[in-house]
Amino acid sequence: MTIVTPFLLDSGQRAEPAKPAAAAHLTDEQVEELGRELDAIRASVIATRGAKDAAYIRRVIAVQRSLELAGRATLLFSKRKSAWVAGTGMLSVAKILENMEIGHNVLHGQWDWMRDPDIHSTTWEWDFVTPSSAWQHTHNDLHHTWTNVIGKDRDVGYNIFRVDEAQPWQWWNIGNPLYNAMLAPVFEFGIAIYDLELDQVREGTKPKSELRKNLKALGKKFLKQVAKDYVATPTAAALTGSGKQALAGTLTANAVRNVWAHAVIFCGHFPEGVDTFTEEQIEGETRGDWYVRQMIGSANISGSKLMHLMTGNLSFQIEHHLFPDLPSNRYAEVAVKVREICERYGLPYTTGPLPKQVGSSWAKIFRLALP
């Protein structure tokens, strides 16, 4: 099957596979009309992107960089407990902002329209162990094309977890809750290993030469991260007798960012109410069908504007899956329209507060650890 992008699908002939249960009541005509409505929403945002949006991302980047600088500077004097708490806190928030609202969204090309080489998907290298290009391949190219299609979307369980009944149970799935608890604080390393696509190498679908290339890029990125967080900042802090405390602060900040990113990602993909799909169900998929799959295969997190900012607006995961290249600051306004469309067409719009979504994701991981 040829990989297609959602905005180049042919809306003409289509096969007649069994539809997902949540969308089984929709006729082909309704699906295509729904697609046209969502196309119109996307077009309206693209037509109104401008100075206000550009100012937003530049302001977020300025705040993030100021917080990081202030956090690292404060850690230079972190022998005092208050300085350690303040420095670690600022650095944690800075890392979350860079990873979620800036890095993730810049790498999706959400800000490429600005034609700013410093804020562009082809030049940005984020504060995460996995190289940007490796993540863009597994995430942008594969996950966003095959969202929740069992056998196509490797993000369904990340080759570690059983998160859907359609995935065959293996004896080692019994340890899924433990694996998940261990993964959260080192999430960036889990993603880095995942992006190597070792399963594809074992199957022979990815050349070993490509793996060697990926390993070289990962090694260079790893050394860069180590030099910044675990050598430069602690070494500078050692001059004031705060070297050990600064090292603990950078380790803690990375762990906090990792746990937060893990929670947000799992809330958007794995809580109860999120559908998965078979390869047969997407045969002949039109643009409207693709939109439906994104809506019923994703979940949102309700909350305040601050919470949305700290999640990188991935609290609007449904809207992000529908429109991955639209500026993240516009998802809130888009969400109102998307929810109305879901209600009108009788489709679920899965959302809930962070504790509920986190609990739901963990409950599923515990439940599916058993046969």
The whole-angstrom separation of Cα 61 and Cα 282 is 39
Q: What integer is the mean pLDDT of 67-71? A: 98
Q: Above pLDDT 70, what percent of the chain? A: 95
pLDDT, average across residues 295-301: 97
Percent of the chain having pLDDT more than 90? 94
Phi, psi of 195 (to 5 degrees): -70, -15
Please tell me which residue, 302 or 20, carries the higher pLDDT value: 302
Residue 16 confidence (pLDDT): 55
For 286-295, b/e burial (b = at least 16 CB within 10 A) is bbbbbbbbbb
Give me the pLDDT at residue 17, please: 59
The whole-number average pLDDT for the span 176-201 is 96
Q: What is the pLDDT of residue 70?
A: 98
Report d(CA 140, CA 115) in Å as an integer.
20
Band of residue 20 on the pLDDT scale cut at 50, 70, 90? confident
Tokens 């793996």 correspond to 211
pLDDT band at 92 (very low <50, low <70, confident <90, very high): very high
- What's the pLDDT at 15? 47
Spatial CA neighbour of 132 closest among 161, 98, 157: 98
* pTM of the predicted structure, to 2 decimals: 0.93
Domain positions in the chain are 21-367
Main-chain dihedrals φ then ψ at residue 70, nearest 5 degrees: -65, -40
What gap in Å lies between CA 105 and CA 313, rounded to an integer? 9
Please compute the mean of the pLDDT values over residues 16-43 and round it to a whole number. 91
State the pLDDT at residue 4.
Answer: 41
Q: For residue 6, name the pLDDT band (cuts at 50, 70, 90).
A: very low
The pLDDT of 208-227, averaged and rounded, is: 97
Q: Of 75, 128, 66, which Cα lies nearest the Cα of 260?
A: 128
Residue 260: the pLDDT is 98
Q: How many CB atoms lie within 10 A of CB 266?
A: 25
**pLDDT at residue 333 tops 90:** yes
pLDDT of residue 21: 87
Compute the average pLDDT of residues 13-28: 77
pLDDT of amino acid 7: 44
pLDDT at 341 over 60: yes
Q: How many CB atoms sit inside 10 A of residue 25's CB?
A: 11
Reduce the DSSP state of residue 277 to 3 states and report it. strand
What are 149's strand-pairing partners?
Answer: 277
Alpha-helical runs (H) found in the chain = 28-48, 51-75, 81-97, 105-107, 132-135, 176-183, 187-195, 198-203, 208-226, 233-238, 243-269, 287-296, 305-310, 317-322, 331-344, 354-367
CB 202 within 8 A of CB 35: no
Nearest to 294 by CA among 150, 148, 165: 148
CB 185 within 8 A of CB 254: no
* Per-chain mean pLDDT for the chain: 94
Query: Position 216: which residue type?
Result: K
